C-alpha cells in the first residue's frame, strides 16, 4: 500500500512539473517576430542597428490631352510648346494634363509628369521563417 501511494504521489508530482514549464522555455532558437517591407520597398539596414523600408522617388509620365475635335501638334505654339489644333477651323488651344500631373515643355512632344516623392517607413510586415 505504501509503495502504491509513493508511486501515485510521484506521478502527480511529475504531471505538475511538466505542466508548469515556463512559457517559451521549450521554443525553438529562432522564435522572435521578424518584420519586412511591403512590395515596392527595399529593406535597408543602417549601421547594423536601424532598419527601414525605402522606396526611391520616381517620376511617372502621361500623354497630353486635347479636347474632342482637336489633335495634338508638336512645337507649334508660343515658346515652342505643343498645342491642340481644331480640325475643322485650324484654331489652336492649349492642351491639358491628367489630374495631379504638370506640363513639361520640351523639344519634340511635350509630356505630363508627376513626381512621386521618396518614402521611408519602419518594417511592418510580419515574416515567418
Q: What is the structure's pLDDT at 17?
A: 42
Q: Provide mean pLDDT across the span 17-23.
A: 48
* pLDDT score, position 119: 94
Q: What average pLDDT does range 25-48 have in this prediction? A: 77
- Provide φ and ψ at 16, rounded to 5°: -65, -45
Whether the per-residue pLDDT at 6 is higher than 60: the answer is no
Domain ranges, ordered by start, for the chain: 58-116
Instruction: Quote the pLDDT of residue 114.
Output: 96
User: Residue 92 — φ and ψ, nearest 5°?
Assistant: -100, 150
Q: Would you report the helix, strand and coil content of the chain in percent, each value rounded to 5?
A: 15, 35, 50
Amino acid at each position: 500500500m505504501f509503495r502504491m501511494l509513493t508511486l501515485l504521489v510521484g506521478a502527480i508530482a511529475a504531471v505538475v512539473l511538466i505542466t508548469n514549464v515556463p512559457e517559451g522555455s521549450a521554443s525553438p532558437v529562432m522564435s522572435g517576430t521578424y518584420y519586412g517591407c511591403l512590395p515596392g520597398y527595399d529593406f535597408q539596414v543602417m549601421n547594423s542597428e536601424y532598419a527601414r523600408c525605402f522606396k526611391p522617388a520616381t517620376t511617372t509620365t502621361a500623354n497630353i490631352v486635347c479636347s474632342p475635335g482637336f489633335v495634338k501638334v508638336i512645337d507649334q505654339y508660343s515658346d515652342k510648346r505643343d498645342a491642340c489644333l481644331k480640325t475643322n477651323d485650324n484654331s489652336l488651344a492649349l492642351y491639358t494634363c491628367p489630374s495631379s500631373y504638370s506640363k513639361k515643355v520640351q523639344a519634340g512632344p511635350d509630356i505630363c509628369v508627376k513626381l512621386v516623392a521618396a518614402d521611408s517607413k519602419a518594417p511592418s510586415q510580419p515574416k515567418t521563417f
